[in-house]
């Protein structure tokens, strides 16, 4: 028989609960474009209207394995977001690649 998650969570140690919450946040932060669109509660047709394109164009972008950065930027901006492209270097330095990111507001 299935148990209510709140009962199970209440039995978890604070450390286990923190690890679980961190893992859930990480999983939510990793999405493909279609998942990102669905998380914003938009259909392909609705996003296509915002992009002034047809729905097949949105489907094509979502299924591409290697879309252009400019295409991803346009897609994210149509969802109301901003694209930041970040390089994570071997020395743990994180660098924002501003020429490839959305324009600052």
Which domains are assigned to the chain?
Answer: 32-105 (1.10.260.40)
The average confidence (pLDDT) of the chain is 88
**Please, what is the angle between helix 69-78 and helix 44-51, to 10°?**
100
Indicate whether 21 pLDDT > 90: no
pTM attached to this predicted model: 0.67
Residues paired with residue 96 on neighbouring β-strands, in sequence order: 86
Residue whose structure tokens are 């999405």: 31
Let me know if 63 is exposed, middle or buried by CB neighbors in 10 A (0-12, 13-18, 19+). Answer: exposed
Q: What is the pLDDT of residue 54?
A: 96
- Phi and psi, residue 38, nearest 5°: -65, -35
Indicate whether 1 pLDDT > 70: no
Kindly report, residue by residue over 69-86, the tens digit of the pLDDT: 999 999 999 999 999 988
Q: What is the pLDDT of residue 103?
A: 74
Indicate whether 105 pLDDT > 90: no
Kindly report, residue by residue over 29-62, the tens digit of the pLDDT: 778 899 999 989 999 999 999 999 999 999 999 9
């Amino acid at each position: 028989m299935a148990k209510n998650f709140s009962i199970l969570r209440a039995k978890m140690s604070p450390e286990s609960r923190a690890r679980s919450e961190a893992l859930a946040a990480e999983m939510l932060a990793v999405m493909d474009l279609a998942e990102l669109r669905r998380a914003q509660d938009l259909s392909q047709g609705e996003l296509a209207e915002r992009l002034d394109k047809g729905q097949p164009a949105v489907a094509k972008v979502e299924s591409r394995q290697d879309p252009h950065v400019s295409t991803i930027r346009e897609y994210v901006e149509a969802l109301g977001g901003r694209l930041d492209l970040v390089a994570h270097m071997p020395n743990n330095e994180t660098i924002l690649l501003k020429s490839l990111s959305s324009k600052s507001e």
